[in-house]
Structures are given as C-alpha cells and as structure tokens.
C-alpha cells in the first residue's frame, strides 16, 4: 500500500503514533487517563487504556454532566470514520460526506494499530476502587460478522469484591504473522456541530480498507483514542543561580543564569547536530580533525552541537572548536550497562571531567542519560536521583543552566515519570520515523512532531528532540525504506516541520558500530545534506 494509505490511516487517529526507535522497532505502550465522574458509579476511578501504533493521542473533551448516566445502546448517527473497502489494487475516489450532530453523543469507534507476532491485550477499562463495590461501566469491544470486524459500545456491571484495581473487558488478540494491523475499539464523544469527511482519492497496491475521518467546522475535532492525563508537576521552573566559588586567578567564565523558562532551539530549520569525535576505525579524532568537522557544521548554519559523554577528550576538543566557530554545546552524562549508581566510577569520572572543563558559557543544556529507562539501565527513581546528583555537582561548580534527560516516547508514557518531570527544566525525546513501519520518508516530519507533542504533555514542559534522522542504507521497514534519496526526503520533511527544535542525527556515518538487526546502524550520517 502506498504512503497515501498510511497517511489516511494515521489521520483516522489524529496524526501521531506510538514511539518506535532505532533500538526498539515495536515500542508499544499503555496510556492512562482518569475521569471518574464520566463513566463509573459509585466512587471509582476509571483509567482508559489504549495501545496505539499508527494511532494518535488527544486530550478528551469536557465530560458530560454528572446526571448523564444513560449510555446509547442502539446505532447513532455520528461522524465516526467511514470504512471504505478497496477490494482490488487500483485508484479509488470516495465522495465527501457531511453529518450534523445536534447533541453530544458518545459511541464506540475503531482505531488500528500495528503489532508484532504474539498475544496482545488491547483496550479495556481499568477501575480502581477503595472499598468493595459494584460498578457499571461502558466499554469498547469488537464483534466479527461475516469476516467484518465492527467496534461496539457495551455496558457491563462488575462486582469488585474488595479494594484494588480491576480490568474490565480487555480485548485480546493473537498475531501469528511478523506484524499485523489489528482493530482497537475505543470510546469517542462527539460534540454538536457540522462534520465533514472530505473527498479522498487514494492508490492501493493490495486489497484494504481505508478510513475517511470527519473534521468539524464548528467545534474542536474529536480523535478516536484517549490520551493520558498530564502527570502532576510543579509550576513552571524558574532559575536560581547556585553560589559561585570565590574568584581565583584561573577562574573559568561563568554564564549569566537564566531567569525564566530556558530558551533553546534555532532558526531556519537548523538548530543542532549530534557529534562524536570518533574516526571510522573507532579511534579518537585529533583536535585538528575535530576543528575541521566543526567548521563545516558551523558553515552549514547550525548553532549547537550535541555531545554524549566525556571520553576521547570530547569536551576539550569539541569545546575549543565550538568556541572558535561561535557554536554552543549540549553536553551529556552517558549511562550504559554499568547503570545509574551515583557513586559509580563511570558517573564520577564523567561528572569530574565536566567540572574540570567548566566552560559553562558554551553550555546551553545538560542531558543526564540517553534512553536509560528504555534500555533498562535505570529505574525511574534511580534516574531521578542521578539527575539531582548531577545538578548538585555541576551547580556547585558554577553551571546555572537547564537540565533534562532524553528517552523514547514509550519510556515517557509507559512509566510514572512525575518525579523526573519535577527535576528537569525541559522534556526531551529521541524520535526516528524510520522505525515506524507506516511512515514513508515524506511523512517523517509529521511523525516526529507527533512524538514531541506526546512527551510535552507528559511533563507539561517545553519539549525538544535530541535525536532524529533517517538511514541511507539497511532493510526496508514497511513503508520506511532507507536510501540516499529517501534520507534527503525525510530530513527535508523534518526540517520543514520542526527543524528549529530538533538535533539531527548524525554528522557522519559510524562504520565502527555494529549494523544491528536493521543493518542500518552505521548509516545515519546526514551532514552532507546541509553541505556540512
């Protein structure tokens, strides 16, 4: 199926999809949102759970009045996405359709998600009760008739014998193929207004079903999946400079601490590029070689470099080159398999190297760990403690700028990260559209923007992409195929959509890496696209 089909399916669910990354091709996750007054009585809290792939996340509309407890049992005329059957390959034209909704209506709709082989539990209603009680809850499920899967809304009475958490009516499916698109039933609420599904022309290569979504000209568009309620976080951070050490003859330059939410990002679609000072044979580059690279990156119009750690003399070499070329740095404390222990020699060595270097006027952001939760190197509490430790160490040495950590979307939404949100100043994620099988290169920008929107809601903080790119070689992943022209298309799409907020990955290819299961890990260099 061509990209138009994937795009139409994505529009069905709001245009953003679950996170996939170059280290995890299928990062599925559960999302929770609390709204007790809307769906369950008495005295319970309901968590809507949906696993999405090509689907999107949205903030649900305000709940109906508490007295509205009658749920529809028959068909309702509402603007649910229209399934259009394409029985054979060819070009299909679907006419525009208009529906007028006169009163707020809640029904069941269908979304789809791509899952790998295995048994998966999707949807359902999870209810948390504090005492033994009986709850009446609507839930979304599917029925199959003559091979057609239909999403329906049912109501069930469930006896909770004691305090605890109960999952009601989850949908379980078994996938035997390598990957398969499955239907996930979801509850949807439509507000009064005029809803129009525009005419669609699409080309398909195999028999399929296209979903044509409605948009409202009078009220906000309701999507078809539920998003997690934002995690509780403190008020937006303000900055307070740590005490500065007494000045000495060899005191290093100190920055002026920001007085409000940090202003990061660039202009013209170019902000930052990842850079590691490794030669193709994995040996450390010389200071002269680093300077040559950095000059090219600066000439291409970038203002910032992201470095991951302190090995290979990264800070002295890259810092000196950045200062000569007028660039800023995003520096990092890298966490690997040794884990998150604040007292580990690896962490101590990196923090010590940063404090000894101490060129704070070059530093725009400190990133503590890279995908540490996703890779299992840190628990949430361990990472939170590590961030606090690094802030204390660097703050005491004179750094007064912002901090963050970066991880894939599944790590942010699949864990209770409120404790991390409370100790960072901006939220960050790594988003690689290539690992979403439904994303063609031309749609990479929309995918990355959708990932960023998700994590910004998790912490209610400004968000930035710390890694994004597209490989020039490797295996095709559905509609996402690597290649020179494909990389150029994807990078152009990302640059146009949100280039001012992303760190492009990476400056050059990395032949020293293992190819990985995608045969692509060595081929992400994109500096040549910017004449860098």
Q: Are 239 and 259 a contacting pair, CB within 8 Å?
A: yes
Active site residue 371: yes
The residue among 224, 210, 223, 214 whose CA lies nearest residue 6 is 210
Per-residue model confidence as pLDDT tens digits over 467-519: 999 999 999 999 999 999 999 999 999 999 999 999 999 999 999 999 999 99
CA dihedral (288, 501, 367, 378) positive or negative: negative
Of 365, 383, 382, the closest CA to residue 466 belongs to 365
Q: Which of 169-173, 263-267, 342-346, 420-424 has the lowest mean pLDDT?
A: 169-173
Task: Out of 30, 38, 371, 456, pick the active-site residue.
Answer: 371
State the pLDDT at residue 361: 96
Using pLDDT thresholds of 50, 70 and 90, give the confidence band for residue 103.
low
Determine the pLDDT at residue 204. 54
Instruction: Residue 96: count other Cβ atoms within 10 Å of its Cβ.
Output: 10
pLDDT grade for 425, boundaries at 50, 70 and 90? very high
Q: Give me the pLDDT at residue 87, please.
A: 66
pLDDT digits (tens, 9 = 90+) for 192-209: 666 666 666 565 555 555
Least confident span in 82-96, 250-264, 325-339, 447-461: 250-264
Q: What percent of the chain has pLDDT over 90?
A: 47
Q: Which residues contact 135 (CB under 8 A, 6 or more apart)?
A: 40, 41, 42, 44, 127, 129, 157, 158, 160
The catalytic position among 443, 467, 486, 497 is: 467
Q: State which H helix or E strand residue 447 sits in.
A: helix 444-459
DSSP assigned state of 508: S
Residue 460 has pLDDT above 80, yes or no: yes
- pLDDT category at 74 given cuts 50, 70, 90 is very low
Mapped onto helix, strand or coil, the DSSP state of residue 297 is helix
Phi, psi (degrees; rounded to nearest 5) at 150: -120, 135
- What span, in angstroms and rounded, lies between the C-alpha atoms of 473 and 154? 48
Q: Tell me if 116 sits within 8 A of 27, measured CB to CB.
A: no
Q: What angle do CA 493, 499, 504 make, to 5 degrees?
A: 90
Distance between CA atoms of 366 and 177, rounded to whole angstroms? Answer: 43
Tell me the C-alpha distance between 368 and 378, whole Å. Answer: 11
Residue 467 a catalytic site member: yes
Please tell me the distance from the alpha carbon of residue 45 to that of residue 130, in angstroms, as a whole number. Answer: 9
SS3 state at 199: coil
pLDDT mean over 322-349: 91
Q: Residues near 376 by Cβ (< 8 Å), separated by ≥ 6?
A: none
Tokens of 97: 């359709």
Instruction: Look up tokens 């007085």; give the residue.
Output: 259
Phi/psi for 384 (5° steps) reads: -60, -45
Provide, rounded to the nearest whole percent, the portion of the chain with pLDDT above 70.
56
Nearest to 127 by CA among 42, 224, 228: 42
Number of neighbouring beta carbons within 10 Å of residue 68: 12
Dist CA 456 CA 503 (whole Å): 16
pLDDT value, residue 106? 61
Work out the pLDDT band at 162, boundaries 50, 70, 90.
confident
The Cα–Cα gap between 245 and 145 comes to 74
The mean predicted confidence, pLDDT, of the chain is 74
Task: Report how far apart, in Å, the C-alpha atoms of 395 and of each of 356, 403, 502 are.
Answer: 13, 11, 26
Q: By the 8 A CB rule, do 55 and 113 touch?
A: yes
How many other C-beta atoms can be found within 10 angstroms of the C-beta atom of residue 114? 24
User: Are 308 and 331 a contacting pair, CB within 8 Å?
Assistant: no
Tokens linked to 502: 């992303």
One DSSP character per residue, 420-434 reads HHTT-SSEEEE--GG
Find the angle CA(450)-CA(451)-CA(453) to the nearest 5 degrees: 65
């Amino acid at each position: 199926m061509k990209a138009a089909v994937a795009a139409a399916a994505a529009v069905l669910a709001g245009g953003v999809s679950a996170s996939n990354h170059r280290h995890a091709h299928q990062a599925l996750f559960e999302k929770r949102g609390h709204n007790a007054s809307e769906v369950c009585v008495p005295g319970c809290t309901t968590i809507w759970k949906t696993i999405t792939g090509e689907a999107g996340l949205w903030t649900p509309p305000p709940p109906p009045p508490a007295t509205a407890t009658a749920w529809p049992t028959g068909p309702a005329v509402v603007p649910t996405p229209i399934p259009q059957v394409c029985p054979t390959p060819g070009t299909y034209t679907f006419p525009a359709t208009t529906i007028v909704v006169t009163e707020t209506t809640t029904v069941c709709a269908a979304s789809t998600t791509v899952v790998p082989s295995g048994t998966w539990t999707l949807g359902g209603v999870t209810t948390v009760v504090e005492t033994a009680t009986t709850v009446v809850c609507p839930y979304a499920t599917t029925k199959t008739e003559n091979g057609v899967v239909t999403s329906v809304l049912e109501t069930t009475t469930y006896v909770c014998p004691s305090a605890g958490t109960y999952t009601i009516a989850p949908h379980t499916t078994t996938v035997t193929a390598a990957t398969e698109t499955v239907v996930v039933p979801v509850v949807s609420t439509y507000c009064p207004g005029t809803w129009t599904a525009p005419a669609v022309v699409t080309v398909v290569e195999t028999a399929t079903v296209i979903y044509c979504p409605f948009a409202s000209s009078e009220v906000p568009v309701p999507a078809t999946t539920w998003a997690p309620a934002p995690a509780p976080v403190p008020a937006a951070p303000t900055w307070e400079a740590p005490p500065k050490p007494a000045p000495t003859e060899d005191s290093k330059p100190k920055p002026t601490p920001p007085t409000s939410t940090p202003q990061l990002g660039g202009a013209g679609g170019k902000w930052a590029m990842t850079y590691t000072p490794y030669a193709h044979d994995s040996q450390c580059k010389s200071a002269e070689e680093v300077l040559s690279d950095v000059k090219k990156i600066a000439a291409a119009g970038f203002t910032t470099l992201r470095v991951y750690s302190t090995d290979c003399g990264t800070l002295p070499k890259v810092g000196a080159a950045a200062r000569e070329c007028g660039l800023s740095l995003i520096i990092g404390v890298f966490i690997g398999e040794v884990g998150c222990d604040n007292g580990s020699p690896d962490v101590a060595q990196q923090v010590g190297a940063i404090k000894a270097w101490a060129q704070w006027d070059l530093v725009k952001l400190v990133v503590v760990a890279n995908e540490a939760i996703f890779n299992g190197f840190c628990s949430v509490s361990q990472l939170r403690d590590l961030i606090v430790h690094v802030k204390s160490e660097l703050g005491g040495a004179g750094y007064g700028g912002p901090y963050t950590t970066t991880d894939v979307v599944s790590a942010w939404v699949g864990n209770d990260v409120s404790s991390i949100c409370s100790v960072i100043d901006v939220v960050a994620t790594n988003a690689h559209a290539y690992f979403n099988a439904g994303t063609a290169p031309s749609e990479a920008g929309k995918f990355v923007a959708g990932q960023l929107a998700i994590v910004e809601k998790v912490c209610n903080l400004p968000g930035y992409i710390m890694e994004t790119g597209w490989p020039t070689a490797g295996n095709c992943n559905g509609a996402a195929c690597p290649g020179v022209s494909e990389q150029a298309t994807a990078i152009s799409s990302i640059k146009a959509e949100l280039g001012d907020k992303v760190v492009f990955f990476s400056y050059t290819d990395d032949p020293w890496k293992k190819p990985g299961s995608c045969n692509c890990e060595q081929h992400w260099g994109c500096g040549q696209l910017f004449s860098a």
